[in-house]
Amino acid sequence: MLRPTSLFALAIATLAAQSATAREGLAQQQPPIGARSAPVLTVDGLRFRDLDRNGHLDAYEDWRLPAARRAKDLVRRMTIAEKAGMMMHAVNSGYFGPGGTVLEDLAPPPPGALKSPVNVAGVPGFDRADKPSPRDLIVNRHVRYIMTSPGGSPADAARWANSLQSMAEGTRLGIPIVFSADPIHTTNRLPGGALPPPDRVKITSSWPDMIGLAAARDPELVHRFGEVASQELRAMGFRMILNPMADVTTEPRWNRIPGTFGEDAKLAGEYAAQFVLGAQGEHLGPDGIMAVVKHFPGDGPVRDGLDPHNPYGKHLAYPGKRQKLHYEAFAPSFRANVAFAMGSYGIPTGTDDVATNFSRKIMTDLLRTKMHFKGVAITDWMHAMPWGLEDKPKIERERRMIWAGIDQLGGEHETSYIIDLVKQGEVREKRIELSVRRILEPMFAMGLFENPYVDPEAAAHIVKAPEYVAEGALAQRKAIVLLKNAEQVLPLKQGETVALEGFGAAPAALAGRVRDAASADVIVVKVNAPYADNTTGQAFFVRTHEGTPVFAGADNADELAMIQKAVATGKPVVVVMSMERPAVLSEFIDTVAGMIATFGSDDAALADVLTGSFNPSGKLPFALPADAASVEGQAEDVPFDFARTAFPYGFGLSYPPRKN
């Protein structure tokens, strides 16, 4: 597989230079030291950051010691307010200024920006407008895990991260920051599954959705994707990615299938672990980033396909009694020493009557005792979706999460509740310290306490490097599945012209071959899988693609009309469907000559398949149902459970060899 060339190998080496300190007990080689305000101590000819500025080397500052010992030493020096800050995983965006400067006040949203509801209907205590400044988070609230997205250029993102790291270095103990990111290398769908505007420019290399990597059927490719994501994110200052999803796709109406590895639990678990190993490495160190496997014990079996982000989709359902199949898909990631595990929003029906992050049966008895998970347990954004505890105040929800076994609260920055719980004797401080040690240990392992800074010039070379772009482009082509090719309508023959319906613009590979439908030889129609588009406001995510697997009655039923109009011309028609969920194709499949399924591939990749520049090799990552009744009758937790299947799991055609 492709690897970085010498043109920017030196830049990558800058990020990886600390890797000699990655494994506990073996760190004797001097790592790079990055200090902007803290003094640097020299002991035995070696250099160390004096983060607390007391003039001597403390255990937590000594990179020669194991991460666990350093974490234990630091925890004993921390106040309860500082410990509470470590248990927050805040969201911070909008504070990017020109050139990567840090804004003190929140910038207004650009015209036409996506707007999310301020409150989930009926759920108190959640306000998306509450966005403290970076200084407030870091200095006043002692928060050190911050989820954000890169602003401006890669170099700008690196400068912004460095500025905040400098701010953190200047605090009492000099504890650095972990910047985390949602997946940004794939199609980057909007909340609920909708595709982003076609003119959105991706800052990183571009890869297919995770479901597309499953269609490519190449575990080494998934591992490599983890490596590339790690290298590009680290260059911009990120040290954590909220990925992968080990959820198994057993409910075809669910809106989050693009982020999964499909219907086969064994493959989904293996591929999630490969991503973890690519992102973190065999042992988490300076040349890796932390991964977060989610959403334990598996978000795939959602009742009626309705996502538990939303009040009407609170429940995980197990009518087939296959809960074990879902939670065991996480085991390979645990064996790969994934740093964090995120719990589901859903209520695990039959196990508990509260959402998983409030459930000790799930987050302690199952996750830690039975599954032997040793890392950090983090919630999803639970105060927004406190299913089972909607009528309880936030302080009681946080007590329940800590009691359940949670270490870090996703989407939170208000530390007063944990502080009050300790002061009131509701939570023992030793319990808080256990979580804080778990949270700190991977930070020490990654070398953040020695050098949290990144090189903006290196970021400009590493992020979206030509080699990474080429690897992502190849992955997009491998992710395309050819479902039908009657009379070898594809690939397009030399000299054949094509009409494009449903495309934003003609791909460059088809330049000169595009005609209107009346004069073209072949018509290619691009559509989305059928969906119901939630616009009620009774949801955390609106515009969510869920529900119906057929075009009849779907909110995008006009796309079936577009297919039918093309068929009526009498010309050969090829349908290209963005297969974000298993769709019923019976409304049109017998009337068209060709059918292609895509899973996060762009039009350039599609054009290469249409013209034969790339021979399709992808395989379906889930079965396709023959009719809506098969979808409605299947058990939410059981894979391969359609009464009638149109295309089986693993189906995929290729072009025959070209004749000389």
- E-strand ranges in 286-417 read 290-296, 315-316, 340-343, 347-348, 376-378, 409-410
Instruction: Check 218, 264, 602, 637 and give the catalytic one.
Output: 264
Closest by CA position to 524, among listed 495, 476, 551, 490 = 490
- E-strand ranges in 134-220 read 145-147, 178-181
DSSP 201: P
Query: Cis peptide before 244, with omega less than 30 degrees from 0?
Result: yes
Q: What one-character-per-residue DSSP string does 88-126 give?
A: EEEE--S-B-GGGPBPSSPPPPPTT-----SS-TT--S-
Question: 365 catalytic, yes or no?
Answer: no
Query: What span, in angstroms and rounded, lies between the C-alpha atoms of 371 and 502?
Result: 47
- E-strand ranges in 473-541 read 481-485, 498-501, 522-528, 532-533
Closest by CA position to 193, among listed 357, 306, 110, 314 = 306
Query: Which amino acid type is present at position 239?
Result: R
Query: What span, in angstroms and rounded, lies between the C-alpha atoms of 452 and 456?
Result: 13
Question: 380 catalytic, yes or no?
Answer: yes
Sign (positive or negative) of CA dihedral 437, 439, 441, 443 = negative
Query: What span, in angstroms and rounded, lies between the C-alpha atoms of 462 and 468?
Result: 9
Helices 429-445 and 416-423: crossing angle in degrees, nearest 10, is: 140
**Residue environment code for 40-70, b if the CB has 16+ CB neighbours within 10 A, otherwise e:** ebeeeebebbbbbeeeebbebbbbbbbbebb
Q: CB 366: neighbour CB atoms within 10 A?
A: 22
Q: Cα-atom radius of gyration of the chain, to the nearest Å? A: 25
Q: CB 182: neighbour CB atoms within 10 A?
A: 13
Q: How far is CA 502 from the centre of its chain?
A: 28
Closest by CA position to 79, among listed 171, 147, 209 = 171
Apex 39 CA angle, 33 and 42, nearest 5: 65
Query: What span, in angstroms and rounded, lies between the C-alpha atoms of 24 and 2?
Result: 31
Q: How far is CA 388 from the centre of its chain?
A: 26
Closest by CA position to 221, among listed 473, 475, 480, 598 = 475
Catalytic residues: 264, 380
